[in-house]
Structure 1
Amino acid sequence: MSPEEWETGEAEEHGQFRIFRVKEVQATSPRTGEELSFYLLECNDWVNVIAFTEAGEVVMIRQYRFGTQQVELEIPGGVIEEGETPEEAAVRELEEETGYTGGEVSYLGSVSPNPAFHTNRCHTVVIQGVTPDGTQSLDPGEDLEVELQALNDVPGLIADGTIRHSLVMSAFQLLGLAADTD
């Protein structure tokens, strides 16, 4: 028997924070008829940017992350603002975080960060042929260092634990799948 969609009832907001809202939702199991509570993190969609320089290097960033309490090697990205497309947000985030601009923009795909309790999607956008023409415009909570990596080195950086961010890994997987279908 395939799982069915659950009937949802009332939702109660438990807090609104800078980047997400917490809601408790009542839902009825189609299998048992039991009503249960589920907690959701409602967020705007996110975007990750795989940007390539004209020489073919990947523009990456190192930044301290409070969740892991470590400096992480990642690709640029962030929250998609209301009214923005993933492509527009990618161009904005790339320039803000790295100072790189220009290039050919293409949408790659999206994933659900954690469908158990996140309501949003994380989109991946590729930008080919970027140059360091702009200046960084960092948020007060961002302290980033830009780093260029060869695309061929990325699998090794994932394998040795240098890249640990699951959404960054997902972005490179989408890139690999797109290359396999070309």
Structure 2
Amino acid sequence: MNDAAAPVDGPLPWPKLDSRPGPDLMVCKARYDEVENPRTGRTMTRVVLETRDWVNVVALTRAREIVLVRQFRFGTGRVTTEIPGGVIDTGEDSLAAAQRELREETGHTASEWIYLGSVEANPAFHDNRCHHWLALGAVRTHELEPDPGEDLRVEVVPFEQALARVESGEIAHSLVICALARVANLSRDGLVLPSPGADEQGAR
């Protein structure tokens, strides 16, 4: 058996027989794929939402505080606590998008940027990824530049408090939790993060 082949008793790829465009939903485009169940031969239509990649940012000050954003989310109909992030614009790479989103949503810029990797946003029907960035030495340098559909409030709190808000359920956005977990793992390993109260001379 080829090493790349799926196990006999494992899930198999579903052949795509046809594909047609659906409506443009502003933040994404729908696509209808006709696929075939590899075990039964039955065909069915599945919806794929074609979406540009996203980015989010764990921004830490030299005092080991994290920059959070509170905003109303239309999907859940409630105010959420998150980290800055958004869509990667056409022609941008993920770093440029991360720097732009941090500046626009929080007014902060940072002196050092570390790529944390990416995850599939929702592979059930999205085709995109979310890229995580860690920004060190974050400082307030600009006024906020919210989009017309945003009403933002910025909080700067100790990083450990953000982790506690995950445990309490206040921070519930899965992609935010993923980014925080990656940074928490680095912190437990004694890597990257400044010590609380680190001065500019001793910070990275």
Shorter-chain TM-score range: over 0.9
- 1:25-60 CA distance string (max 9 Å, x none): 011122112111101111000001000112221000
Flag the structure with larger Rg.
2
The offset of 1:151, in angstroms, is 0.9
Specify the alignment match of 1:83 in structure 2.
Answer: 91
- 1:72-98 CA distance string (max 9 Å, x none): 000000001122111111000000101
Amino acid at match of 2:100: R
Contact 1:61-1:144 at 8 Å conserved across structures = yes
Amino acid at match of 1:162: E
Specify the alignment match of 1:113 in structure 2.
Answer: 121
The offset of 1:180, in angstroms, is 4.9
Is the counterpart of residue 65 in structure 1 residue 73 in structure 2? Answer: yes
Specify the alignment match of 1:154 in structure 2.
Answer: 162
Specify the alignment match of 2:176 in structure 1.
Answer: 168
- 1:69-124 CA distance string (max 9 Å, x none): 11100000000112211111100000010110132011101111211111100111
- 1:1-40 CA distance string (max 9 Å, x none): 1212121122122211221011110111221121111011
Is the counterpart of residue 30 in structure 1 residue 30 in structure 2? Answer: no
Unaligned runs of 5+ in 1: none
The offset of 1:178, in angstroms, is 3.8
- 1:112-161 CA distance string (max 9 Å, x none): 12111111001110100011011211110011011012111122101212
Q: 1:10 to 1:178 in 2, by over 3 A?
A: farther
Is the counterpart of residue 16 in structure 1 residue 24 in structure 2? Answer: yes
Unaligned runs of 5+ in 2: 1-8, 192-204
Contact 1:108-1:178 at 8 Å conserved across structures = no
Contact 1:102-1:131 at 8 Å conserved across structures = yes
- The number of residue pairs the alignment matches comes to 182
TM-score (structure 1 length as normaliser): 0.94
The SS at the match of 1:139 is: coil
Q: 1:28 to 1:180 in 2, by over 3 A?
A: farther
Displaced runs of 4 or more, over 6 A:
none
Q: 1:180 to 1:4 in 2, by over 3 A?
A: farther
Contact 2:66-2:162 at 8 Å conserved across structures = no
